[in-house]
Amino acid sequence: MSCRSIVVGMVNLCLTVLSASAFADTLKPVMTGAEAALYKGSDRFERLVDAAKKEGVVSVYHVYPGLPALLAEFTKKYGIKVKVWRSGSETVLQRIVTEARGNKFEVDLVQNNSPENEAAYREKLLQEVRSPFQSDLIPQALSAHHHWVGLSVDVWVAAYNTNKIKKDDLPKTYQDLMDPKWKGLLGIEANNQAWFGSLLGEMGEEAGLKTFNGIMNTNGMSFRKGHSLLTMMVSSGEVPLALTVYSWIPEQSKQKGAPIDYFALQPLMAQTSTIAMLKKAPNPNAAVLLYDFLISDGQKLLADAAFIPVSKKINNPFSNVSMKFVDPALAIDMQAKWLKVFEETITKRSK
């Protein structure tokens, strides 16, 4: 056989192998919801990207006002359009429950507080997801059942108007708020029963109720519905000192020049804001790809915007501060009791 014949034969063989390999790749089926969520193969990322781009879109229901900025970066990176709908935590939960009961499945990923996403898990609406990036997260960001995962940490801090209150005069403990000098200066968010119930659990219910009854009896307290609204009232001076705002809201306002700052009272309470994939997500590959993005690249973007990331790789203002996390399952089971105690102790007595 001539050298030319040998060379031609080898080339044809290589082309045949390459063609067979390419054909085999085209035969790989697009992964279904559960397959995409649980797949651990070495080609996981490549398969997700390829299938997600074919889907071309991902739908997200969320509560965070800052989430669209992260979603825009996801679109910039992968060219996948994100459809969003935003509302309050209870409304988002109610919508996905109502849609599921009506056999309407339009949403792929939901971002909500951990108790609300835990409730969605109990309704069997969520898909278990296994991501290689989960190992980078703090323990409180990981649910035992893997049907939701932490996106960020909402830390309840006290915010104050720096034109109305001097830093040296700030209270050191909740008991300090029984001092008559705080009369007419205090405010609280109206739907913080999970914070209050968990806080009483840390303080001891009897001691905690004694403290807050003392505060209410001596100084009273106003309330506002919405953490952002309450923070705005602090910035304007209408509520000089608010006890329950998420740390990222006054920090963002402070960076914009508002006369506001925040501090921590112990026990310092926190809860995870979470993301979850819907079991019947219409675009499952794009949903998992976005899930991965939010708990990897998205963590730095959150930190840059003053949110508290769940990634152990990124330092934050509370990295070395003792915090107690709301147990989302307990928050559901105790909701009626905690709401009753919160209303009787504070909101029904507020002005």
Report d(CA 135, CA 139) in Å as an integer.
Answer: 9
Do both 223 and 164 map to the same domain? yes
Do both 264 and 276 map to the same domain? no
Residue 55 lies in a domain: yes
Do both 123 and 182 map to the same domain? no
Kindly give the pairing relationship between strand 149-161 and strand 269-278: antiparallel
Residue 226 lies in a domain: yes
Residue 16 lies in a domain: no
Residue 223 lies in a domain: yes
Residue 290 lies in a domain: yes
Walk along the chain (351 residues) in steps of 10 and give the mean pLDDT of each run.
51 46 52 90 96 97 94 98 96 97 96 97 98 97 97 98 97 97 96 96 97 97 93 97 97 96 97 97 98 98 96 94 96 96 94 67
Do both 210 and 316 map to the same domain? no
Residue with tokens 């998992």: 288
Residue 262: predicted pLDDT: 98
**CA-CA-CA-CA torsion for 70, 73, 75, 79, nearest 10 degrees?**
-160
Q: Long-range contacts: 137-141, Cβ < 8 Å, 24+?
A: 137/295, 137/310, 137/311, 137/312, 138/310, 138/311, 138/312, 140/270, 140/272, 140/310, 140/325, 141/272, 141/274, 141/310
Residue 11: predicted pLDDT: 44
Residue 25: predicted pLDDT: 46
Do both 39 and 171 map to the same domain? no
Do both 92 and 177 map to the same domain? no
Do both 161 and 240 map to the same domain? yes
Residue 28: predicted pLDDT: 62
Residue 14: predicted pLDDT: 47
Do both 75 and 191 map to the same domain? no
Which residues span the domain enclosing 307? 33-153+272-320
Residue 230 lies in a domain: yes
The alpha carbon of 103 is separated from its chain's Cα centroid by a whole number of angstroms, namely 26
Residue 344 lies in a domain: yes
Do both 61 and 144 map to the same domain? yes
How many domains would you assign to the chain?
A: 2
Residue 32: predicted pLDDT: 83
Residue 16: predicted pLDDT: 46
Residue 110 lies in a domain: yes
Sign for the pseudo-dihedral over CA of 98, 101, 103, 108: positive
Do both 293 and 249 map to the same domain? no
User: CATH number for the domain including 193?
Assistant: 3.40.190.10
Do both 175 and 196 map to the same domain? yes
Do both 217 and 338 map to the same domain? yes
Tokens of 337: 């009791």
Report d(CA 156, CA 165) in Å as an integer.
Answer: 19
Length of the chain: 351
Q: Are 82 and 58 a contacting pair, CB within 8 Å? A: yes
Q: Are 220 and 241 a contacting pair, CB within 8 Å? A: no
